[in-house]
Amino acid sequence: MAVQPIRIFGDPVLRATAKPVTVFDKELRRLVKDLTDTMLEAPGAGLAAPQLGVSLRVFTYNVDGVVGHLINPDLSLSEEEQDGPEGCLSLPGLRFDTKRAYGVVARGVDMHGEPVTVEGTQLLARCIQHETDHLDGIIFVDRLDREARKAAMKAIRETDWGGGPAPTVRISPHSTFGPIR
């Protein structure tokens, strides 16, 4: 297993727009394996490459027993919305109600460059949107309304890992979205 440290909120790599993958080689396959192993060990419902300090458009997911990955995703979102608790391995221990599209169709490629389409609703849709946000330098607390974001930032400052002089790199002991059903 190749479990890697997860970057914590405050690390600049989490705010950068990730670059598209253009080379499909052994290093990319190793990255997908590292993402998968780290996500499963954490455990989390998803993990994006920037969370491991790699600024590439790659993420993995583990929802309802289905483990997969997507590279260079392009999303089509449903108009119907869902609102529910969301967490992040880069903000360990914190969860906030976040609005997301109820359904998503995600198109991209796999680690071999072959086309992939992933369709989902509810938790899978939430996970895909959350991980794609990471690829765009967006953290889920950015999606909260003003009052909720203010409360979230206060909660972050009150954690043992938030508000310090420099970001720390640790593997989160907390689940991203709660138990997988």
Burial category of 168 from C-beta neighbours within 10 Å (exposed 0-12, middle 13-18, buried 19 and up): middle
Sheet holding 58-63, edge to edge: 46-48, 58-63, 66-77, 103-109, 115-121
Instruction: Give me 22's structure tokens.
Output: 């253009």
In whole angstroms, give the CA distance from residue 65 to residue 121: 15
Which single residue is written with the structure tokens 């914190």? 94
Catalytic residue, candidates 27, 80, 131, 158:
131
Half-sphere exposure of 57 (CA within 13 A, CB side): 20
List, in sequence order, every residue forming a beta bridge with 63; answer none if it has no partner: 66
Q: According to the annotation, is 130 in a ligand binding site?
A: yes
Q: According to the annotation, is 112 in a ligand binding site?
A: no
Is 131 marked active-site? yes
In whole angstroms, give the CA distance from residue 69 to residue 110: 7
Q: According to the annotation, is 127 in a ligand binding site?
A: no
Q: Which residues does the annotation mark as catalytic?
A: 131
Q: Which residues are annotated as a binding site for Fe cation?
A: 88, 130, 134
Q: Which residues are annotated as a binding site?
A: 88, 130, 134
